[in-house]
């Protein structure tokens, strides 16, 4: 349980230090590269831990199918919850307050096709796969005597690099200086969207995971990544080798969720609604999926997506470690 206080303490201290350095933000252009390096190391170590876990290796096909089902149900629950939520607050499919604009001024945007660079996602998936293979071939098959030691070593290494990643996240947020202002600008109505995404995902996605045999906390943690495949699975894995299967499912589920967002946001925006399209990737609307939202929706939808993704990001940052330390 104490690790949640460590993680949040690191995040808060990093944010505070960086907030005092905002005038020098242009001197920290390398932060993004450091973050990606930390993420690459983390997911590789996570792959190694999966590779030395026999239960993960013997059920990899099942894990893939479980992840896909959980993803489809989590997305369906999120989209349905956002649809109901916007109806309750009297918003139309374009995000307008009903009656505030004429139908011809609703702001429907012409949908255009857009491509996005999947290089980062592909590199991360490849690193996990390489880690799994190396863990199996080198440690399990050729060095079984060091397996207990290596498992502990990899677990400790994972925790240390997770702390490094949290330092970088907190520092980047502190340098931006836009967290509070963006939330104020969006107003209270913005809370409806992330709240609906979270509720829909947990009820349907976590419900599916629970029915598949995962514990309540594992089920919530698996879905609680909301597309953040480089963070939530690592936190789950760091909680102990007994959570290796849950970590593997979480990784694949969150990769699926972000990928489905990249592919299907334009379709959902056109056929169902702008706000509903934000439910697909979860956190991804504040970063990698933002170009898709911008091309498929309107400027104010981008703002909704950014704030929604950011608030869910905060929930994931705090919630997944809390769940795994209960």
Q: What pLDDT is recorded for position 106?
A: 52
| Assigned domain for 250 exists | yes
194 inside domain: yes
- pLDDT, one tens digit per residue, over 47-79 is 888 788 777 777 778 998 999 999 999 999 999
- Parent domain of 60: 2-18+28-324
Number of structural domains, the chain?
A: 1
In-domain check, residue 105: yes
pLDDT score recorded for residue 199:
96
Residues of the chain where predicted confidence (pLDDT) is lower than 70: 1-4, 98-121, 177-187, 287, 291, 299
**Per-residue pLDDT, 183:** 54
pLDDT for residue 186: 52
What pLDDT is attached to residue 299? 67
Residue 246's pLDDT is what? Answer: 94
Predicted local distance difference test score (pLDDT) of residue 117: 46
- β partners of residue 97: 91
Enumerate the H helices of the chain as residue ranges.
2-19, 31-51, 54-58, 60-88, 119-134, 147-176, 179-186, 192-200, 207-211, 216-223, 232-238, 244-271, 274-277, 290-296, 299-324
The verdict on residue 23 lying in a domain is no
Check if the beta carbon of residue 131 is closer than 8 Å to that of residue 44: yes
Predicted structure pTM score: 0.72
Query: What confidence score (pLDDT) does residue 185 get?
Result: 57
Q: What is the pLDDT of residue 103?
A: 46
């Amino acid at each position: 349980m104490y690790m949640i206080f460590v993680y949040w303490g690191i995040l808060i201290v990093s944010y505070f230090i960086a907030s005092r350095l905002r005038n020098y933000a242009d001197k920290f252009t390398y932060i993004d590269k450091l973050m990606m390096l930390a993420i690459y190391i983390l997911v590789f170590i996570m792959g190694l831990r999966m590779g030395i876990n026999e239960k993960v290796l013997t059920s990899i096909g099942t894990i893939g199918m479980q992840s896909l089902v959980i993803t489809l149900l989590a997305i369906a629950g999120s989209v349905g919850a956002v649809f109901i939520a916007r109806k309750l607050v009297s918003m139309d499919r374009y995000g307008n307050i009903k009656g505030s604009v004429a139908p011809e001024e609703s702001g429907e945007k012409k949908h255009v096709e857009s491509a996005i660079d999947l290089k980062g996602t592909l590199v991360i998936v490849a690193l996990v796969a390489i880690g799994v293979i190396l863990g199996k071939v080198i440690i399990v098959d050729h060095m079984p005597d060091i397996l207990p030691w290596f498992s502990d070593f990899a677990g400790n290494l994972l925790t240390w690099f997770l702390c490094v990643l949290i330092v970088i996240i907190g520092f980047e947020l502190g340098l931006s200086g836009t967290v509070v202002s963006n939330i104020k600008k969006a107003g209270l109505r913005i809370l409806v969207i992330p709240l609906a995404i979270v509720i829909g995902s947990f009820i349907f996605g976590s419900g599916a995971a629970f029915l598949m045999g995962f514990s309540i906390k594992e089920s919530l943690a698996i879905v609680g990544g909301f597309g953040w495949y480089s963070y939530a699975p690592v936190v789950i894995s760091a909680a102990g080798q007994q959570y290796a299967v849950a970590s593997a499912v979480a990784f694949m589920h969150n990769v699926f969720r972000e990928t489905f967002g990249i592919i299907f946001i334009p379709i959902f925006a056109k056929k169902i609604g702008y706000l509903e399209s934000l439910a697909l990737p979860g956190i991804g609307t504040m970063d990698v999926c933002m170009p898709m939202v911008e091309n498929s929706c309107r400027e104010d939808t981008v703002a909704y997506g950014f704030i929604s993704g950011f608030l869910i990001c905060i929930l994931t940052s705090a919630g997944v470690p809390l769940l795994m330390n209960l």
